Amino acid sequence: MLTSPDVASGIAEQRQFFATGKTKDLSFRIEQLKRLQQAIQENELIIHQALQADLNKPRFESYASEVLVCLEEIKYALKHIKSWVKPQKVTPSLAQFPASLKVYAEPLGVVLIIGPWNYPFQLIIAPLVGAIAAGNCAVMKPSEIAPHTSKLVAKLITQYFDPTFITVVEGSKEVSQQLLEEKFDHIFFTGGTEIGKIVMQAAGKQLTPVTLELGGKSPCIVDADTPLELTARRIAWGKFMNAGQTCIAPDYLLVDKRIKAPLLEEIKRNIHDFYGDDPATSPDYGRIVSDRHFQRLDGLLDAGKIIIGGQTNRGDRYIAPTVVDEVSWEDTVMQEEIFGPILPVLEYSDLPEAIAQVNAQPKPLALYFFSNNQQRQQQVLQETTSGGACINDTISHIVSPNLPFGGVGASGIGRYRGKASFDTFSYQRSVLNKPFWLDLPIRYAPYQGKLKWLKRLIR
């Protein structure tokens, strides 16, 4: 682990290690991926304890949404890495004949991974899998807002990896600013849009490419033609898991007014099924990560009419699963990403109206649509834009390494997960290899009389 004053020297040591070429070796990459897998498996309980201390995550959520996601990512990389690193042959043009053309996936060098606080283990370890698989060295900066998980990540990386290959820098936002002043070969940032702008601005000074996994107001549209009980259950699950502190949680409900009342009743019933009479006493319901975030969310409860929940406890940083009706786009709760257990409800009369409301906002990270009608499903997908989408579910599209994950516009730049992670931390090196046994004189000066032959050649 690096301390703040050691940052520059630590990066220099990583560059020296990268220059040896060892990280390009396939067997080295596989060994490091297996070592990361071992670190997670051997410390699963300790990881949960850190997540519980930071966010009061239940054991099931700690494993399913943090540990398991990382293990599946590693498993997928180990299964496919040999094909990923294999040079890809491409067909030469007639003008290049005789030559062989190949595209090599090359590592970028020393990369910086900055993690968020809401899934503080998964969202810094999952990108690391791609960085290792692609053959890079990495500097990791966990979020100081989840201090127990930050400390744990630093401990595990120090215990299982050589710091000249992977290291962790802990500290406040000032440490992050110091890191951003250094030269990296790629910066991978997960967090809020405003901080993402700062990261991108800093990267621009160094001409450093970035991947920005941001957020936004992810809509959940509910058509009248949908099974209300199951729809409500899936919405409540996606919204209130991790106390709503999920970048792809449904941020607001946009429901056909004909079914709004029964849908909200079903959501209320499912919240009770999940967390009992008093969610504050449920072992399966999380807490807000910090006093500052609690205060911000508490202020959002002033808008509209609370029809479910609304109870808070500042000392415990508890906010009940809450549904707010009678809100408008002018209310503060609809002006910013909520990132908490508050679900505002809007209604619409017909689907084009709902689509128009969604399209009037910045492009979201996720979009959810519930309907049995396949024509309407296709209409929503064709007429909206979002980083990812689920039809008749929430959240689940992030689970599979086969699906690239990322935003669009204000919700993010770039993709990761599975092969997309490998590609993010690689660059494509195009290589032409030409023998000496044939050398056509047509391409060499003098060009007198050769143009007509060139035109015939390329027809």
Catalytic residues: 213, 247
Token pair 């409540």 is found at 236
Residue 401 token pair: 């390494």
CA–CA dist 301, 10 (Å, integer) = 46
CA–CA dist 135, 107 (Å, integer) = 5
Token pair 């060994």 is found at 31
Is residue 44 helix, strand or coil? helix
Q: What is the DSSP string of 105-171?
A: EEE-SEEEEE--SSSTTHHHHHHHHHHHHHT-EEEEE--TTSHHHHHHHHHHHHHHS-TTTEEEB--
Q: What is the CA radius of gyration of the chain?
A: 25
CA–CA dist 458, 450 (Å, integer) = 13
Q: Would you tell me how many other CB atoms lie within 10 Å of the CB of residue 352?
A: 11
What residues contact 458, with CB distance under 8 A and at least 6 apart?
Answer: 94, 95
Q: What is the DSSP string of 157-208?
A: HHHHS-TTTEEEB---HHHHHHHHTS--SEEEEES-HHHHHHHHHHHHHHT-
CA–CA dist 132, 341 (Å, integer) = 35
| DSSP-derived secondary structure letter, 66 | I
Is residue 137 within 8 A of residue 18, CB to CB? The reply is yes
Q: Would you tell me how many other CB atoms lie within 10 Å of the CB of residue 252?
A: 26
Whole-angstrom CA distances from 25 to 31, 106, 225, 307 are 10, 11, 54, 59
Is residue 2 within 8 A of residue 171, CB to CB? The reply is no
